[in-house]
Structure 1
C-alpha cells in the first residue's frame, strides 16, 4: 500500500488509499467515523474525494494507516485489565464506552459490569471527572501533547454508580485499529509513581 506523506494535505489518491486501508483493516465507515468524531457520511465524502479531512483528522488517519495492527497486543491489554488486582477499567477515549473492567473495579461498583460493556460511562461522572474531562482540551490530550492525568475525586457511596477512588489516573494510548483508549485507575491516596 502506498504510504501517505506526513507533511502535505490529502490529494486525489487520499480517498482511494483510505478506502483501501479501511477495507483491508476490516474497519467499517461507521466505526472509523466514531473513532474520529465525524459522521459516516463524512468518511464517505473523504473516500469519494468530495471532501478532505481537517488537519487534525488527517493526522489521526495517517497515524492509524501507518500503525501496524497487533490484535494479540489488544487482547493482552484486555486480559491484563480484567485480571488486574487494581481498580481499573478501559474505555474508548472520546465516547467513554466501557471496553473491559477488573474484578476489584466491578466489586467497587457493586454491580455486574456486563450490561455496561459497550455503553458510555459518562452518565456516572462525578463533578470532578466532568471538570477533568473539560481540562483535556487545554492540556492537548487529543493532540498527543499529554498522555496521562491524575486528579482528586469525590467518593460516591450509592446510585447511580458507587465510586470509592480519592484519586484517579487517566492514561491514553491506542489500540491496533487506531482507537484511542483511556485506562482509568483508582487510588485511595495520591499516587507518587506517575
Structure 2
C-alpha cells in the first residue's frame, strides 16, 4: 500500500504544480490584455490631443474654442466608459477562467480521493467494513456538499455579474446625459 500512496503523492504534487502553472498563465494573460488596452488608450489619447491642439490653435474666436472643448469632454467621457467596460470584461474573463480551472482541479481531487478511499476499502482487513462504509459515506457527503457550494457560488457570481453590468450601464447612461446637457449648454451659449 505504501507504493500506492507514493504514486498518489507524486500525482498530487504534479497536479498541484500544473494548477499553479495554469493560474500563473491565466494571470499573466490578464496582465497582458490590460497592458495592451492601456497602450491602445495611451496612443489614442496622444493622437486625439494632438488633433485637439491643432484645431484649438486654428480656432477663430473663444466661443468656437469652448464648443470644441465641450464636444471633446463628451467624447472623453464616452471613451473613459468604454475603457472601464473593457477593463471589467478582461477582469471578469480572467476570474471566470480561474474559477473554471479551480473547479476542474476540485473535481479531479474528488475523483482521486474517491479512488483512494475505494483502494483503501478494497485492501482493508476483514471486519473493518463498518469503518470503511463510514469513511466512504463521509467522503461522498463532503463531495456532495462541496459541489452544492460550488454551484451556489456560480449562481452568486452570475447574479453579481448581472448587477454590476446593470450598474455600469446605468452609470454610463447618467454620465452621458449629464455630459450631453453640459455640451448643449456650452453650445447654446456660443451661438448667442
**TM tier relative to shorter chain:** under 0.3
Task: Report which of the two has the higher share of strand.
Answer: 1
TM-score by length of 2: 0.17
Task: Report which of the two has the higher share of helix.
Answer: 2
Structure with max Cα Rg: 2
